Amino acid sequence: MSSIIQLLPDHVANQIAAGEVVQRPASVVKELLENAVDAKATDIKLIIKDAGKSLVQVIDNGSGMNVTDARLCFERHATSKIRQAEDLFSLNTKGFRGEALASIAAIAHMEMKTKLEQEELGTHIVIEGSKFMSQDVAVLPKGTSFAVKNLFFNIPARRNFLKSDTVEYRHIIDEFQRVALAHPKIHFTFYHNGSDMYNLPPSSLRQRIVNFFGGKTNEKLVPVVEDTEMMNIQGFVSKPEFAKKSRGEQFFFVNDRFIKSPYLHHAVMAAYEGILKDGSQPSYYLYLTVPPNTIDINIHPTKTEIKFDNESAMYAILRASIKHSLGQFNVAPVLDFERDANLDTPYHYKNLEGEVPTIQIDTNFNPFAEEKPSKSYSSSSSYKRVEPAATWESLYVDVKHDTSAVFGRNEFASSNNNDFSFENNEFAFENEEVTSSLFNDEEVEQTVQRTYQIHKKYIVSPIKSGMVIIDQNRAHQRVLYEQFLVNMTVQHASSQQLLFPINLFYSTSEMELIAELQQSLVNTGFVFEDSNPDHIVISGIPVNITESEVAVVLDQLLGDLHNGIPENSFSQNDTIAKSMAKSLAVKTGAYLTEKEQENLVNGLFACKDPNVSPFQKPTFITMRVEDLDKKFAL
């Protein structure tokens, strides 16, 4: 009987390994950027075309490689980072497994150029699908250049699973941000389809964050600094009032390596407890430095998860440090134009002591004396005699008793009776004749309230067979969702012009996303007056949005679309309509007047699909009289 188990060929093994290392072009960007950082480069250029599908190139001025290393780096499990198993617990570098270059070369056309600083000539190698096509000597600058072309050219099924260029481009930006934020002392340049997207010179950590996320970010940052025996913490957190709905700008770095840690994220949220709105997410950029032997970074294929020796102590230290920094921010003086300056202590009163007030008493004051002013009052006395008010009859001493002047000459010119005399203090009033009601009994019954709100969450409306219980939030989502879809489809949305345009600042990646969505937003009623590299100017908004809700709606939209924009326009419009409906729908706990309740009920049942919300959740339930009878029959 022949053997069943056999060794895989090298090219098949490399393709299987590539499935773990390379999921998309962003994976290639991550591996190549980390190798450039480990090569001690001070200037790194990233060049991509067609969101990395056609080209991903990384050029650095690092140490470079000799001829032997240049050929050996494409072999599986070849690495310069470790020599023995114990080295895994004292790593200070990025990539270390030795599978990245071999896996990438197995599924793409790869070209490498490298040269040592002390050498006169460098090495030029071309590989296609793990096959060495050529190796030549070339005149090259110091450093290394990797060019990865036609990713997944020999695995069409994997290439078909790639998302649209917009989605893949956003994933590349995410990886580029993580590496560039971890190393602010390195000059990074990013080019996409020939356009200069980022040019980040060496700078401080705060300046690197501002370069990425816009100039307005600087005023949002609160520094966090803490040094303990267990770990060192440096970085920034955002002020509570600048919290967003999405979790975009949240970064943890451990020993200059980006990680994801729900446990540490919970520590940050615990520090904001009581000062953050429900559903809001703060931004943070936190850099933790710990001894390498206290962490295990080899527990995840992408090395974005780390195992800590003492997580509970790190949780407590991180929470206390952030809470302390936020406390310092709250007690610091701020420039607040809404503060009442009259309540502030003048500066020249700063060092003065308070004076004890003196009390002066008029010993000659007698409350039972005659009602005439006393001449014995001192000028500083606080008591003053008030003259008694005149009687109301004295107000009419000089008034002639001419009723025609009061009631009109035409009506009472021939009336000589004293019915209207002020002297007799008698007045005659004409009784109004009671007429029949303007509405008949049937119309009066129709004016009776037909809807009722329960716990500011549900609307109850009676029907012929029983009653309908409506979820006000989901019902309003359905109404707004269909309105936005109609506006975007017909492209005839109404806008309200703003007296003062709104300036909204966003990061470069968010500006790219807004540019992609601009036409769809215009169809909903937004009017864009101007667009700049770091902010947009809005001069008109949809009629059902208030000026204060514009920033909230757009932040929610960007958060919902962070993972990608649908490729076709209908799906794109559907996603935008869902996000805006979720942001603008009346929330649970909001009081609705009777008229608002009726409008919401009528609007819901006028929809094409009133049964479910845009997120496929039921909007109402019905209860028949028979169901109620069964409840009482128990």
For 454-506, what is each residue's pLDDT tens digit?
A: 888 999 988 888 889 999 999 999 999 998 888 887 766 778 888 888 888 88
For 62-72, what is each residue's pLDDT tens digit?
A: 988 888 888 88
Quick check: 435 and 566 in contact, CB under 8 A? no
Token pair, residue 88, equals 């895994």
Quick check: 601 and 456 in contact, CB under 8 A? no
Q: Any idea which of 275-289, 381-395, 404-418, 600-614 has the lowest mean pLDDT? A: 404-418
For 400-436, what is each residue's pLDDT tens digit?
A: 555 444 444 444 444 444 444 444 445 555 555 555 4
Q: In 116-220, at which residue ranges do the beta strands (DSSP E only) sit?
A: 122-128, 131-138, 143-149, 187-192, 195-200
Q: Any idea which of 326-335, 524-533, 571-580, 607-616 has the lowest mean pLDDT? A: 326-335
Helix or strand or coil: residue 430? coil
Quote the radius of gyration of the chain (alpha carbons, Å): 38
- Which has the higher per-residue pLDDT, 372 or 193? 193
* Percentage of the residues of the chain whose pLDDT score is greater than 70: 74
> Which residues touch 154 (CB under 8 Å, ≥6 apart)?
15, 107, 129
Rounded Cα gap, residues 209 and 115, in angstroms: 33
Confidence tier at 307 by pLDDT (50, 70, 90)? confident
Burial of 118 (0-12, 13-18, 19+ CB in 10 A): exposed
Domains and CATH numbers, the chain: 10-200 (3.30.565.10), 205-330 (3.30.230.10), 400-432 (no CATH), 453-622 (3.30.1370.100)
What CA–CA distances, in Å, run from 383 to 359, 413, 576? 12, 54, 71
Closest to 70 (Cα-Cα) out of 33, 112, 31, 106: 112
Q: Any idea which of 77-91, 562-576, 619-633 has the lowest mean pLDDT? A: 77-91
Mutual orientation of helices 472-490 and 594-605 as an angle, nearest 10°?
60
- Rounded to the nearest integer, the mean pLDDT of the chain is 79
According to DSSP, residue 293 is labeled: G
Q: What is the pLDDT of residue 445?
A: 45
Q: Compute the C-alpha angle 111/116/120, nearest 5°.
A: 100
Q: What is the pLDDT of residue 380?
A: 46
Q: Any idea which of 25-34, 193-202, 407-416, 530-539 has the lowest mean pLDDT? A: 407-416
For 139-190, what is each residue's pLDDT tens digit?
A: 999 999 999 999 988 888 888 888 888 788 888 998 999 999 999 999 999 9
- Which residue, chain included where needed, has tokens 């997944």? 152
Mutual orientation of helices 569-584 and 472-490 as an angle, nearest 10°?
140
What CA–CA distances, in Å, run from 518 to 298, 538, 578, 579? 43, 11, 16, 15
Instruction: Indicate the Cα dihedral angle 101, 509, 564, 282, nearest 10°.
Output: 100
Length of the chain: 634
For 233-265, what is each residue's pLDDT tens digit?
A: 999 999 888 888 777 788 999 888 888 888 899
